[in-house]
Amino acid sequence: MTFPLRRRTLPLIAAILAGGLALSACAGPGSTSATSGSPTVADKAILVTSFGTSYNDNRDLTIGAVERAIQDANPGYEVRRAFTSQIIIDKLAERDGLQIDNVGQAMDRLVADGVKDLVIQPTTIMAGYEYTDLVTEAMTYQDKFDSFSIGSPLLTTDDDYKAVAAAIAKNTAQYAGDDSAVIFMGHGTSAPSNANYAKIGAVLKDGGYKNYFVGTVEASPSLQDMIQAATEAHVTKVVLQPLMLVAGDHANNDMAGDEADSWKSEFTKAGFEVTTLIEGLGQNPDIQQIYVSHAKAAIAQAAVTPKPTPDQSASGTASTSSTAAPMAAGQIKEGTYAITATSTKSMFKVVDAQLNVESETMTVTMTLSGDGYGKFSLGTADQAAKAVDSFIDFTTDDQGRHVYVVPISRLNQPMAIAAESMKTPGTWYDQTVTFWSDRIPAEAITI
């Protein structure tokens, strides 16, 4: 059975069709406002960033719903939209004539419009590569605003995990039972934040939500792990729902599709009665309010954070002779390569970097010049201070220097990393590091 829409979404759809909640300001070329019918506030804005989706109906029900909730809670701010997926942006422009800014375009527009106080609230589930790339790009603009802050992903603090667990369990309570398993399908990532899926699964279990499980499409826990969990729970029915902001391609195809390798098909072959809920997390009002609380926290943080001086800002990467375009793992033959790494701060010096490419993923084993920093976290220092997991620990080489294995998504592209002080644990510093491809042999580059 497939339920594309839940009963409580019908009034929202009716309102959208009536025009009361239309996102008309997003439809025209160059438009970035995420709301319509509200006056533009020239000096204060909240930029809500999302990966995006080409599923128009679900985009309004999820991304649009989060944006509206943030706008309703912050009437003194103009809420604007940006997508991080250029592929989605280009598809919408070609197919529908819908123009949506990427992060750089949105930031340039905010500067040109004279916005003074900016909060960026990502709709990412966790601090993975998408979040890191967003932070890196956005922080190059921070000295152009009087106040600037970036909100945390959905799953950051222990309280976030508990709130999300309660929200998704409440939303699926009608399906819970001794004979049923409710299984959420996340995306998965090679970043350390993939551990968040296991953590939210553990929080559900510890919270007493019986037969609730969380798996991923592209990492672990896997589909087979979920089938095994349902089997060991001795249930006969399985309810599948995406643990993603939107119910897009992964939900409609990887989860609920009729292909032989979809989650629905695999669970059916395993002997379970399967129900699929094509509903993104953004449709859940309780999830929307978690994003609202994160935006509120970012506003409060911006009010107490001094404006950075030019030398404190992540205003770009350190100089290098390389001008190569960003390069992904699929463009390099598997192996280990010595590479160059540069940072924007002289106190954060990388003295050795070894790139390892395996199964279209990349990690860098990087050695710092000393032992002044402890754990690393992908993303901002503020987010790292709030986080409870997904940290990168160090080892020590024979000279006492700290060595880290850092997963990366691209070479030749700045990357935001937060580093914890060894002298004052709990104190984090923003760093921007770029790993370069200029030393990789030409014969090892495949594209």
Q: Are 438 and 322 in contact (CB under 8 A)?
A: yes
| HSE-CB of 5 using CA atoms within 13 angstroms | 13
Q: Is 47 helix (H, G, I), strand (E, B) or coil?
A: strand
Does residue 77 contact residue 151 with C-beta atoms inside 8 Å?
no
Rounded Cα distance, 184 and 153, in Å: 18
Concatenating the DSSP letter of every residue in 159-173 gives HHHHHHHHHHHHHTG
| Residue of 187, 250, 294, 402 marked catalytic | 187
Residue 431 and residue 340: Cα distance in Å, rounded?
A: 16
Inter-residue contact 213 to 184 (CB < 8 Å): yes
Closest CA to 263 of 235, 232, 241: 241
Residue 217 burial (10 A CB sphere; 0-12, 13-18, 19+)? middle
**Alpha-helix runs per DSSP H in 143-244:** 158-171, 195-206, 223-232
Residue the block writes with tokens 């160090």 = 394
Q: How many CB atoms lie within 10 A of CB 42?
A: 11
Q: Among 177, 339, 185, which residue's Cα sits nearest to residue 257? A: 185
Extended strands (E) in 106-256 = 117-122, 147-150, 180-186, 212-216, 237-242
| 187 is an active site residue | yes
Round to whole Å and give the CA distance between 244 and 264.
Answer: 17
CA-based radius of gyration for the chain = 22
Contact 437, 342 (CB under 8 A): no
Tell me the catalytic residues: 187
